[in-house]
Chain A
């Protein structure tokens, strides 16, 4: 597999992931059109939108798992398609369970080349379960473990599709702190229906609506005006 062959930005400058030219139709329905997305290291970028509007499809296309004609995914201006084949470039948390059920947390961490103890250190109860199989963990615990392992993997970018689903409220704040801390060395692109958590965490927010991606200059006001949040 190719090593991460992206061009290197100037010292101190962030790595920039860009995607555009993504157009997708499902039958007669335009799912994605005229999409331009930009994430850079040091940022948490939120991707919001209603159920079924194409957020997951967009993340999968950026990741490279869904071939889309004319899609262009670039890092520092260099085309990287499919992006997931580039070592150290990006990883992706799908909506569905990620870890094979027969694999222990510790074994999964070894495969992902992550230090499990370091990744789970903010969650002592998870550390105690690191020798359990993924299939034996509760849904919320498995989700939290998956998010933490991907966040701590040595990639420039992490794409997270509903990382907060099933995670206990008591853990959400700590998880958000971990994300804020890790963004100093990577770029995070996430989508979730917990708008308050996403808004509190994100530096940049995109709204996917009717197949078009809109950068919200004032996310809270933009979402309120469009009826996504109240108050």
Chain B
């Protein structure tokens, strides 16, 4: 498989799970507002909090779309090859958003 196909496969996988990852990010930001920790500082605990949402997203994804991995296996991709870039991109995107909000609010 060439890299362009891999990139498109990861994009497709991310697109399906984006509502769930966005919900995870929204919950973290919402809880910061709720508990008076706004604007949320960008630090290790915030990143860890974001990372801790992925097991739940994985579980909900498996329950909601239990058969989605057959297509990716036919592209010769293992689950970790889809999840690893998703976790990295989503966490980096969230960190950038938190940093931007912090700068705008400062």
Contacts and interface: CB of A to CB of B under 8 A. Distances in A.
Interface string A88-129: 000110101111101100001011110000000000000000
Interface string B72-98: 011111100100000000000000000
A164 interface: no
| Residue among A64, A84, A91 facing the most chain B CB atoms (10 A cut-off) | A84
Interface in B41-85: 67-71, 73-78, 81
A96 B74 contact: no
B40 to A, nearest CB: 32
Interface of B is mostly: helix
A112 B75 CA distance: 6
Given A97-B67, A100-B68, A111-B9, A1 B76 contact: yes
- Chain A contact patch, size range: 20 to 34
Contact of A99 (B1, B71, B73): B71
A96 B74 CA distance: 14
Contacts of A87: 1, 76
15 contacts: A1-B81, A63-B73, A82-B78, A84-B73, A87-B1, A87-B76, A91-B74, A98-B70, A99-B71, A102-B15, A103-B12, A110-B8, A111-B8, A150-B74, A153-B74
